Structure 1
Amino acid sequence: MLKSSKSLKQHLIIFTRYPEPGKTKTRMIPALGAVGAANLQREMTEHTISQVKELQKATDISLEVRFSDGNLQLMQNWLGLDLFYQSQGEGDLGLRMARSLFDAFEFGREQVIVIGTDCPDVNSQILTKAFEQLHTCDLVLGPAIDGGYYLIGLRRLIPELFVNINWGTSQVLQQTVDIAEELKISLVYLPPLADVDFPEDLPIWERACSK
């Protein structure tokens, strides 16, 4: 059960992975090595959480970290005791996201956003805009340059959006949009942003760090 105050209606879920060398950011290993790739995962997660904490200074939102690999103790040792952690559980990305959204709506949240940690340009302004859009539409998507999405926001669970999607491909965003249009779901887009997945993407991360 989410431990945050039930009065908070806006909820943000961060999907991340415990930064164990050899298991995370594996596409970066040729350039950074296993330890370097894990350190990148660590730094990008910490960067994302810092942006969310900036948002929390201005807006009453609850925050949850859904993790894979590692365990609760390792996550608390890494990111601290002041965050709420939950394992992502089994299944593909769609099933894991749908499960996290189900839990949040079941607990009484009214606007729920899920983000990952691969897009360093996701900041408090983007997140504020996403929550604002959920006052008037059912679905908010943040398109990623690679054809996926870096953010999805809903004000009710729509499980169809998370099945029959080719996760990890350039088709993810379009397949999601096609389902939304078929279901006649009101949809708003955020600005497109770039993920940091491959060695050639590292300058995006370096620019974000220098801001």
Structure 2
Amino acid sequence: MHNNPSAECGPVALHLLAKAPVPGRAKTRLMPRLGAHGAASAHAEMVRRCVAHACRALPAAQVTLWTALDHGHPLFAELKQRLGIHLAAQPEGHLGVRIRHALAGSAGPSMIMGSDCPSITPELIQACADSLATHPVVILPAEDGGYGLIGTRGLTPADARALFHDIPWGGDEVLAVTRARLAARGLEAAFPATVWDVDRPEDWQRYRRLYPRAPSLASPFLSPGWSR
């Protein structure tokens, strides 16, 4: 894949947020079905898949994984070694602070997504990157009222603060509040598709139906013929 959006837009950076797969602290809402270790293993699998999706859409040099809980976890080292992505430690603070920090670290257009949204395919990531050539903001709305990815280009500090400060993170009004903030700032956004993430046991079952096998990070996984 690895097509670039227009030269005017420039290379698009992609940031992913990920906790280390620590049992009892990762994907805790899956624990009633999978147990602490099973939920952590499920989380690790989704991180691998989401990062692999990112590296199918964009060159690995444009992908940064922002880590939490255990920055030196072997999963993160494995992804860096095998795929060539960048690693960075998430700062302290609420989700809005961490999003703004990651996006501000890129000189040009940039996007950020979680690591529990495997429905964001390489094709969708590329579509979002392309959208930033013509829009200052791109968003992939999530079925639960949030969003799975947001990208920005050329926002002022005031615009960025409006989009990420005092948002009801974790609730079902994140997207609605964000849309209202966009309208108030006169910012036009692209919304290429609606996605879903894996939070609850039924989400995990949905994921397993779509992806019955765990991903491999060997080079064939990222070959041009790869699909799932």
Same fold (TM over 0.5): yes
Shift in Å, 1:77:
3.3
Contact map agreement 1:12 1:64 (CA 8 A) in 2: yes
The residue aligned with 1:35 is 37
For these two proteins, the number of residue pairs brought into alignment is 198
Shift in Å, 1:49:
1.2
> Unpaired runs of 5+ in structure 1?
1-7
Identity rate, percent: 29
The residue aligned with 1:171 is 173
Structure-to-structure mapping, 1:183-194, within 5 angstroms: 183-194=185-196
Scaled by the length of structure 1, what TM-score is found?
0.88
The residue aligned with 1:142 is 140
Contact map agreement 2:61 2:85 (CA 8 A) in 1: no
Question: Which stretch of the first structure deviates more once superposed, 180-189 or 72-81?
Answer: 72-81
The residue aligned with 2:3 is none
The residue aligned with 1:208 is 210
CA distance in 2, matches of 1:43, 1:139: 29
CA distance in 2, matches of 1:134, 1:76: 28
Contact map agreement 2:80 2:87 (CA 8 A) in 1: no
Contact map agreement 1:94 1:165 (CA 8 A) in 2: yes
The residue aligned with 2:125 is 127
Shift in Å, 1:9:
2.4
**Residue in structure 2 matching 1:113, options 111, 114, 120:** 111
CA distance in 2, matches of 1:32, 1:183: 44
Amino acid paired to 2:79 = L
Contact map agreement 1:10 1:61 (CA 8 A) in 2: no
CA distance in 2, matches of 1:126, 1:86: 24
CA distance in 1, matches of 2:169, 2:198: 16
> Unpaired runs of 5+ in structure 2?
1-9, 213-227
Structure-to-structure mapping, 1:1-211, within 5 angstroms: 9-56=11-58, 62-72=62-72, 74-81=74-81, 82-104=84-106, 108=107, 110-157=108-155, 158-210=160-212, 211=228
The DSSP-based 3-state class of the residue aligned with 2:168 is coil
Contact map agreement 1:24 1:37 (CA 8 A) in 2: yes
CA distance in 2, matches of 1:68, 1:184: 34
Amino acid paired to 1:26 = T
Deviation per CA, 1:72-112: give whole Å up to 9, x if none: 364543423322111111000001100111111xxx2x220
Deviation per CA, 1:176-209: give whole Å up to 9, x if none: 1110110000111121111110011122211331
Contact map agreement 1:12 1:61 (CA 8 A) in 2: no
Alpha-carbon RMSD: 1.7
CA distance in 2, matches of 1:75, 1:48: 13
CA distance in 2, matches of 1:119, 1:60: 19
